[in-house]
Amino acid sequence: MKRQEIKEKLLDLLHGNLSPEEKEEVMAGLEKSGISRAEIESILSVSQIIDKTPSPEPSEKMDKRFYALIEEEKRKALLGEPEIKPKRSYSVSFLTPGLRIAAGIALFLLGWFASGWLGSVTPAENKQIADLTDEVKLLKETLVLTMMQQSSPVERIKAVNMTGDFDKADNQIIESLMRVLNNDTNNNVRLVALDALIRYSSLPEVREGLIASIGNQTSPLVQLRLAEIMLALNEKRAVPEFQKVLQNAGLNYSVRDKLNEAVVILL
C-alpha cells in the first residue's frame, strides 16, 4: 500500500468512514508499524472530542505568536520534522482552534509513521511514534481541561469521566477536579468529580482537599458519598468537618444519620 493510500485510509478511519473489516485492516497495519492499538484508540478519541467541541471565534487580542507557533509546526510536519510541542501555558479559552490544527498534524504524522507497512521501522521512527503518543496524550489532557469549562453540564461530566483514561493525572488535572467538586453549579457534575478524585485518594493533597470540601457541599447525594469515602479511607480528620455540618438544623435527615454514624465509627 502506498503512503498516500495509507493517509487516505487514516482519514477515513478518523471520520468513521470505514467498514468494520476495513477498520480492522488499518488498525492491524498500524500495529505492525509499531503503534499499539491503545495509542491508535487514544488518537481517535481525541479526534472525536475535537469534532464535538465548538470552536469559539478568536479574540482580536489573541497573541499573534500563538498563530506563528502553529504555522511553524505545520511547516515542520510537512517537512517531516515531527517536533510538535503544544504548551498549556496558552490560555485555555483560545486553545480549541489550535488543537484542531495540532490534531490534524498528529494525524499527518501518524500517516507518515505508518510507512512501516512498507518496510521495517527504524529506531528513530519508533522514537518519533513514542513522541507523537506523548503529544496526543497532552492534547487530550488539554481538551479535558477545556471541556471542564463548557457551559453544558453534560460536556463537563464527559470531561470529568475522561480523566479516567489517564494512567496518571498531573497536578493540573487534580486541581481542576477539585475546583469542579467545590464550585460547579451542577450537583451531578460535583458527584462525578468526587468519584473521579477517589482514584487519587492515596495522594495527601487529594485527601486534604476532600476533607476541606465537606463543608462546601449542600447536595445530600454528595454529602452521603463523602461520608462513605471518609469511612472507607478511615479518615479521622474528617470528624471535625462532619460535626460542623451536623450543626445545620436544616440538614437532610438521611445525611444526618450517616454523618452521625461516620463520627461514631471514626472517633
Residue 40 inside a domain? The answer is: yes
pLDDT at 145: 79
Cell digits for 30? 498500524
Contact 201, 228 (CB under 8 A): no
What pLDDT is stored for residue 17 in this prediction?
72
Domain count, the chain: 1
Residue 221 lies in a domain: no
Please state, in angstroms and as integers, the Cα–Cα distance from residue 198 to each residue in 74, 152, 161, 169, following that order.
Answer: 40, 24, 12, 12
Could you identify the residue written with the cell 452521625? 260
Does 239 reside within a domain?
Answer: no
In a domain, 66, yes or no: yes
User: Cα–Cα distance between 81 and 109 in angstroms, integer?
Assistant: 9
76 belongs to a structural domain: yes
Strand ranges inside the chain, DSSP E: none
Q: Are 220 and 252 in contact (CB under 8 A)?
A: yes
Q: Residue 128: how many CB atoms within 10 A of its CB? A: 20
Ordered mean pLDDT values, 10 residues apiece, the chain (267 residues): 56 70 75 62 58 49 48 49 42 42 49 48 59 66 78 85 76 89 91 90 90 91 91 92 92 91 91
76 alpha-carbon distance from chain centroid: 26
How many Cβ atoms sit within 10 Å of the Cβ of residue 104? 16
Residue 34's nearest CA partner among 170, 127, 163 is 127
Tell whether 82 is covered by a domain: yes
Among 209, 224, 213, 211, smallest CA distance to 262 is for 224
Q: By three-state DSSP, how is residue 151 classified?
A: coil
Asked if residue 189 lies in contact with residue 153, where contact means CB atoms within 8 angstroms, the answer is yes
Is 8 a member of any domain? yes
Q: Is 28 part of any domain?
A: yes
Residue 46 structural domain: 1-147
pTM to 2 decimal places: 0.57
Return the residue matching grid coordinates 461516620: 262
pLDDT, position 65: 47
